[in-house]
Each structure stands twice: as structure tokens, then as C-alpha cells.
Structure 1
Amino acid sequence: MSTFGDYFRVTTYGESHCRSVGCIVDGVPPGMALTEADIQPQMTRRRPGQSAITTPRNEKDRVAIQSGTEFGITLGTPIGMLVMNEDQRPRDYGNSTMDMFPRPSHADWTYLEKYGVKASSGGGRSSARETIGRVAAGAIAEKYLRLAYGVEIVAFVTSVGGVHLYPPTAEHPSPSTNPAYLQLLQTIDRKTVDEFLPVRCPDADAARKMEAHIAEFRDKADSIGGTVTCVIKNAPSGLGEPCFDKLEAMLAHAMLSIPATKGFEIGSGFGGCEIPGSIHNDPFIAAETAQKLEEEQAGPTAANHHHAGIPRPKLTTKTNFSGGIQGGITNGAPIYFRVGFKPPATIGQEQTTATYDGSSEGVLAAKGRHDPCVVPRAVPIVEAMAALVLMDAVMAQHARKTTRSLLPPLNQAGAEQSKAPGNGQA
């Protein structure tokens, strides 16, 4: 369906060329200051037309809050948010060729099989325009997580095609085992990421190579894929469930629901499968010791990552191959993962395909305006989905802790609570 989350529920609506897109967010805590200014920065980072290597569709993507706030304060009621589609061009798709042939690797055929009807222009709900509602909702979740826990979520591009921020080597087949990569995760922030526009890869040399690589495919009316890494700092411990709703499983669900995604790995990921357990295991150490080590390695600014006034676990890990999650539950260390995006399916080159009824084969050169590579614009979408997962998990844990706190305390022998006076009363 079009709803994500249990406690913090987000329902998105809209197609690529309809009048507007947006979302309804239910479960937003009351009493939090919130205006469009809190949401617009992420919308602007996601919007099309940012550079010569993104789609030229010119959308301002101005968000408007429709409900759920008064005088800039959340009411606890559903928040509706709307963004107008100002530069939609359904005529780009109104030609006999595109009406007859499904685009290779696109959702045209599968949507028709599922619903018996499909949007005649663009990708409908399979278009990246759908992610506008996710980003808007994610900005709300992120503000709460930042205020309550000092959570910081940062994503950045780590590869485009065969161009990598940390090229694979025999010693480090995956960046997750590379100390330089792990060091970057400790210090990276959004301001630094956005200094490397338009690609959002935080290394000048790699960013230049990636931009040139994308431009090469754009000029050939082709496309290319890549990967986005995301790190969540200051996530509280104890989030996630031990079985089917492990936090990494929920993150995988969220990330693989983003259009064009094809892969997900967390912590050491696939690279960790190539090293022995004696190296891969994360030894526990005192949290104070870990903070001192972090500040020695990254400098005094590392202290800023620890939100004042928020209690932290007594233990953390010396290494973090687990990616901040063990047994499906957060351990207080940074959570980091990588998401793989395929080359965009819609390209301007002629491709062989077949008619919808299968009666004949033909050639299709798709029209419309499309990204030659989605990863630079996927960065805020990945951040938004990470925020939604974490917010839902936080609210679930608060519900568990609050209901438990209403019970009388157990004695050392685990005495029967039923004998306690007032048991079961609010």
C-alpha cells in the first residue's frame, strides 16, 4: 500500500504528472515547533533541475503544511503536506510509440498487470516524484529525533558506476572494512556533503570523476547507477525487535522501497563475510573510553556528536563492524549502511521491446526528462527513510517502557506483582 510505519505513520499520494504530490503524517508528537522552514531544506536538496547532471524538469518543490499545526506548533493531529507539480508535461508521453510499447525495465508493464490500468504519463506512482512525501515526513521525524536525542543522519554518494570513493582492494574488498571510510563516518556532516555538489561525494577528486562519468552517460542518452552510504549518529540503544522487525530489517525494507534500489548492506555488509570472526567481532569497552578515543582521532569537534543532557549507554564497542545493531537491536554505536541504485530505466536511446499485447516487436526511444544517475538526488531520500524507521522504533520503545513503568517494581526474587496494592491501575 502507500503507508509506512506503525506509530509514526506516513501515507504518500500523487503521481509524476498529476496536480500535486504530498503526504499525511499521523502520530507526530504534539507541542513541537514546526513550520515549512523545517521541511524545505530537504525538499530543496531532493528537487530536480539542480545541475547539468540531473533531470532538467524545473520544479521548485515548495512544501505547504495543510493541517496538524497551529501558530507553528504541532497539535498531535495528522499533518497534511502538499507540493504542487508546476512543470509537469504529460504531452511528452502522449505519442503512439510510447502508448504501444512498455519501457524496458520500467514499471509500465507490471503496473498494468497489477491494476489493469496505468498512468498514461511518466511512471505514475513508480516515479521518483512519489518520494516528495517521504522527504517531507522524514524532515518532521528528523527534527524530533534531533531535539530529543541529538540524532544526526547523514548520507553521501560512495560510488557511481565503477568510480568509487574507496576503490575495492584485496585488503579491503568493501569500504566497510577500510579504516579511512570508518573514520569518515565519525566526522561527516551534511554541510560537508553539500560542499561537493552536484554529486555529493565528500572527496574532491572522486567527485570530479563521478560527475564526468555521469555526464558521459548523459551525453550518450544513457544512464548509470551507484551507491549511497548513510550514517546515523547518536541513535539511542534498545531500538528494534529481536525477530522479524529487527532494526536492520526495517531499514532494509525502507531503503528497498525507494525507487531504483537494488541492494542493501549494513555494517561490514558483504565485505565482512570475507574476514574471520576473530577480526569481525566488536569488543565492548566503556563508553567514556570510546569518546576519548574518538576525540583523539577526530579532534575536539567529535564531542559535538554527543548531545548534552541525553543519557548514553555505559558500554559501546571498540570497533563497529556490526553497524550499530546487534541481535536486531541498536547498541548505541553509529548505525551505517549502504544502498545500491540501478541505472534509471528511462533512457533516450532506442531499445528493442514488444507491444503490450505481445503481438509484435518494435523499437522505443523514450521521451521526457530523466536523471542519467539518481544517486546525487537520492541522498535526502535515504536520510528521510532512515529518519522514519528510527522515529517509529523510538515511539515503539517509549510505549514499551511507559507501560512497564506503570507496574510495581519486582523484588530481587521476582515476587508476584499481583500481590502489590493498586496493581493494574493507571
Structure 2
Amino acid sequence: MNTLGRSFRVTTFGESHGAAIGAVIDGCPPGVQLSVEDIQPFLDRRKPGTSDLVTPRRESDLVEILSGVFQGKTTGTPIGLIIRNQSARSSDYEHLRDLFRPGHADRTYFEKYGIRDHRGGGRSSGRETAGRVAAGAVAAICLKRRNISIVGKIVEIHGNSDPVMFEQEIREARDRGDSVGGIISLTITGCPSGLGDPVFGKLDGLLAGALMGIGGVKGIEIGAGYAAARMFGSEHNDPMIPGGYLSNNAGGILGGISNGQDISIKLAVKPTPSICTPQSTIDLEGNPRTIVVGGRHDPCIALRIVPVAEAMAALVILDTLLEQDKYAAWREPGSQEL
């Protein structure tokens, strides 16, 4: 599946070493002020080559709006967004043409489709997420009009929760030809109660599915998460008082529906699988081989996943918000008589 959403639908396209990547948005409300300048800051946070802690691949990641905007405002018609690849070096992957990279989707893509793009992983590359961030930027801009914000941050790198040590953990791994993972927290503030649909459209399920759809994400916690399994019910329940709750172990979602509190999420991100350390693998014929991936890669992909996670959460929240808006007219006084 390359499409996400029901009322706010996003389809991404493109490969790491293709001509371009991008997204098509269908269902964006009309009249929203939108320009390249509004979207670009979101992409700038994700783009490569910004420091020695990320891949040295240099991409400007400049977004172009192809459709759906007139005189600076959305028209309600499909919005086409494109980001042209400028720094692909496919020759870096020539030695991988017949090899499967451990930890990557190379083998599973080949087993599913019978063909794979060995140049950076093609569609499975982290570069695909630029299209998601561009679309998520549009969603975040729409959510801002409803006073909803989403903020992500790194809270742990390689088991270390001291922010002062994050860079050191990454540099030490990189200098050894290795990589590290991390944990990201997301906080969604201003989300109204009532979002999400039981039974199979639960908000926590939709968020988990979207966030687990990010390459490299291997675990999700909402609210107390795994700690809930070690608590008593009397500890985990969030007592209610007039106007709110005394705690937020539920993470802002009960019964799959938002309850008006902040929605709190944590994501576990695995170490970058592309490393310079020799590893065992097989070739297309199943013969044992040794591989050194090399190339230009992030020693810790968690850093650049933060804006991607924010984008995916924005897409889900806006989609459920637009779905909930459909109920508004039916809840007005007298509407029950229709």
C-alpha cells in the first residue's frame, strides 16, 4: 500500500535513486494558506548532509507544488508535491547488485516481487520519507488552524538517556564502522476528544500503524505503554475530575478514542542496517558471501526520523479530525429529528 488515510488521503511515490520522490494529497480542505515556504522548513529538518552525525549525501530537498494551490490557497483539489533527487550515486551500490544487505528489505522485496532496485534500496530507502514529510507539513499547517501541535524529540540513544551524551554515542559507533538506535517521544497537544472510530479504526491503532510504517521503527508505546503490564489497575487508571483527569497513563486515548488529554507516544528505532562492519549474507543464488555495505549512510537514523514521525502523526490526526467533522451537523440541536 502506498496510500494512507480516508478523508485526507496521501499517496507517496518515487525511489531513492529515481528522478524524484513526492506525494499526492487528496481531500485537503480548501482555503488553507499554503506555499513552498510553508512546507520547506519541515523538509529542511529531515534532509541529509546537515551535520557529521547524518549521511553526507547532499540533497537540497526543495519541494515544488504542482497542483491544488491557487493564489496562495488550497483549492480542495489534489495537491501534487515533488522533490527532485540531485545527489544520487548509484555506482556506490554496484557491488551490491547480487547481494542482500542484512537488516534491509532487499531479500523480502525480492521474494515478494521477484525484482528489486539495488540502488539504495529503491522504494524501501529512508529517502522515500521525504514525500511523507512534505505531505505531513500540509497536514500540520491545517492542524495549526485548529490549535493542534505535534512535537517530537530524541529521548534515548543506544540506551543512554543523557542528551549530553547523544552525540558521543553516535560518533563512537560511526568511528567503529557501526551504528546505533534510539527512542523518540511524540506529544500531540490540543487534540479534541472524540477522534477515532471503534472497532477497527481506533486512534491508537491508526497512529501505531502509521508510525510502524516508518522504516526502522520496531516498537510503539502509547501512554504508560509496556509499563502498564507491571502496574495494578488502581495505578494505571486515570481518575476523572470535573474538567479532566488526574493522570494520563492512557496517553490521551481510551477505547480507541481521544479523550482531550495530550497524546503521548514513544517509538523504538533500530540501528541503521547499512554499516561498514563485515557481515555474513547470501547472493541471489543463495550462496554464502561476506558483505561490507559502505556508501553514505546515517550512523543513527533516529535523528532524522523525528520529523518523519511528526509528519505521520499529523496525517493521522488530521484524517480522523476530518472524519469526526462529518458528525458535527448531526449533533446540532434538532438534528436527531432528521
User: TM-score, normalised to structure 2's length?
Assistant: 0.97
Selected match of 1:389 from 316, 322, 327: 316
Letter in 2 for 1:150: N
Shift of 1:408: 4.1
Listed as ranges, the matches of 1:243-262 within 5 Å are 243-262=199-218
Kept in 1: contact 2:156–2:163 (CA 8 A): no
Alpha-carbon distance, 1:405 to partner: 4.8
Please, which runs of 5 or more residues in structure 1 have no aligned partner? 165-205, 287-314, 411-416, 418-422
The 1-side partners of 2:18 and 2:283 are apart by 25
Does the alignment pair 1:129 with 2:56?
A: no
2: CA distance, partners of 1:110 / 1:275: 38
Q: CA deviation at 1:251?
A: 0.5
Secondary structure in structure 1 of the residue aligned to 2:225: coil
Say whether 1:377 aligns with 2:304.
yes
Aligned counterparts of 1:327 and 1:100: Cα–Cα separation in 2: 48
Name the aligned partner's letter for residue 336 of structure 1. Answer: S
Distance 2:98 2:17 in 1: 19
Give the whole-Å Cα distance in 1 for the aligned partners of 2:282 and 2:335. Answer: 68
Letter of the 2:206 partner, please give it.
M
Query: Whose strand fraction is larger, Structure 1's or Structure 2's?
Result: 2
Residue in 1 that maps onto 2:219: 263
Does structure 1 residue 319 correspond to structure 2 residue 239? Answer: no
1:280 CA drift (Å): 1.5
Q: How does 1:125-204 map to 2 (within 5 A)?
A: 125-147=123-145, 149-164=146-161
Aligned residues: 338
CA distance in 2, matches of 1:258, 1:7: 21
Q: Which amino acid aligns with 1:59?
A: E
* Matching residue within 180, 184, 187 for 1:228: 184
- Name the CA distance, whole Å, in 2 between partners of 1:23 and 1:9: 10
1:66 aligns to what SS in structure 2?
Answer: strand
1:175 aligned residue:
none
Which deviations, in whole Å up to 9, do the C-alpha atoms of 1:202-257 show, x marking residues without a partner?
xxxx2231110010110111111111000000001100012111100000000000
Alignment-derived partner of residue 354 in structure 1: 282
* Partner in structure 2 of residue 33 of structure 1: 33
Query: Does residue 91 of the first structure (1) align with residue 18 of the second (2)?
Result: no
Question: What secondary structure sits across from 2:208 in the alignment?
Answer: helix
Overall identity of the aligned pairs, in %: 44
Judged with a 3 Å threshold, the aligned counterparts in structure 2 of structure 1 residues 406 and 316 are, in CA distance, closer, same or farther, namely closer
Q: Unmatched 5+ residue regions in structure 2?
A: none
By how many angstroms is 1:407 displaced?
9.0
1:242 alignment partner, SS class: coil
In 2: Cα distance, 1:106 partner to 1:331 partner: 38
The alignment partner of 1:221 has SS state of: coil
2 CA distance for matches of 1:283 and 1:406?
A: 30
What is the aligned-residue RMSD (CA, Å)? 1.3
TM-score (norm 1): 0.78
Give the CA deviation at 1:375: 0.9
Taking the aligned partners of 1:277 and 1:207, their CA distance within structure 2 comes to: 33
- Provide runs of 4+ in structure 1 moved above 6 Å: none
Distance 2:333 2:234 in 1: 42
Give how far 1:323 is off: 0.5
Amino acid at match of 2:225: G
